[in-house]
């Protein structure tokens, strides 16, 4: 029977600590306990800082949504799952209409409030398994997991209609904003670049259609 090396090491360390404690005065033991507690608190504090930094690296600071870096990583992961296991999905790209005009007339604080408003609606009307991102400026993206056929188009229409009829309240006034939502299913693209390009083209088609109707 082989000796338990780990147990021998633990017992040896335990005995060493016990011998050290016996040689210490009561005040020295109290000081040691205080130092250990201080170090423990420092470790917890540093762990919290690391976790916050990790979160900040993945989140858009204004809206709290996933940022562009997270979007790129999650889309790559979702596309790999589709290629390997045929886990269907779709990409939605969302762009606020006439956002520059709102910034110019009402100010950037109003623009920020609208971006937060859109982000809140997008998050509220998607599933927990979907990835909602702000990828820059007034542009958003959603990675829909297990989306097939017309479900991506239906979700795009639903989000567009919901945002159009839900005003943003800013400084006591209601501001209506519309968005253009493009979509493309994984099965319609050969790779991530083509998926993004097709969703982007779909979004601008919606934007031009909306302007034509107006």
Catalytically active residues are: 138
What does the DSSP 8-state code read for residue 59? B
| Spatial CB neighbours of 184, under 8 Å, sequence gap ≥ 6 | 90, 91, 152, 195, 198, 199, 202
Task: Give the DSSP H/E element, type plus range, for residue 135.
Answer: strand 131-136
Contact indicator for 121, 140 with CB cutoff of 8 Å: no
Rounded Cα gap, residues 161 and 57, in angstroms? 32
Contact indicator for 65, 117 with CB cutoff of 8 Å: no
Q: Among 211, 189, 214, which Cα is nearest to 200's?
A: 189
């Amino acid at each position: 029977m082989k000796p338990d090396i780990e147990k021998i090491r633990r017992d040896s360390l335990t005995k060493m600590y016990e011998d050290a404690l016996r040689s210490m005065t009561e005040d020295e033991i109290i000081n040691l306990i205080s130092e250990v507690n201080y170090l423990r608190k420092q470790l917890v504090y540093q762990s919290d800082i690391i976790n916050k930094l990790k979160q900040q690296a993945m989140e858009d600071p204004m809206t709290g949504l996933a940022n562009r870096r997270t979007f790129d990583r999650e889309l790559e992961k979702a596309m790999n799952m589709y290629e390997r296991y045929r886990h269907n999905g779709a990409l939605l790209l969302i762009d606020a209409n006439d956002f520059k005009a709102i910034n110019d007339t009402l100010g950037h604080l109003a623009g920020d409030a609208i971006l937060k408003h859109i982000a809140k609606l997008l998050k509220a009307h998607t599933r927990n398994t979907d990835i909602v991102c702000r990828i820059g400026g007034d542009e958003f993206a959603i990675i829909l997991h297990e989306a097939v056929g017309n479900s991506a188009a239906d979700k795009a229409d639903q989000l567009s209609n919901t945002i159009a009829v839900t005003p943003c309240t800013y400084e006591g006034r209601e501001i209506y904003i519309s968005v253009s939502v493009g979509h493309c299913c994984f099965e319609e693209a050969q790779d991530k670049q083509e998926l993004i390009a097709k969703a982007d083209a779909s979004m601008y088609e919606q934007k031009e259609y909306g302007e034509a109707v107006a």
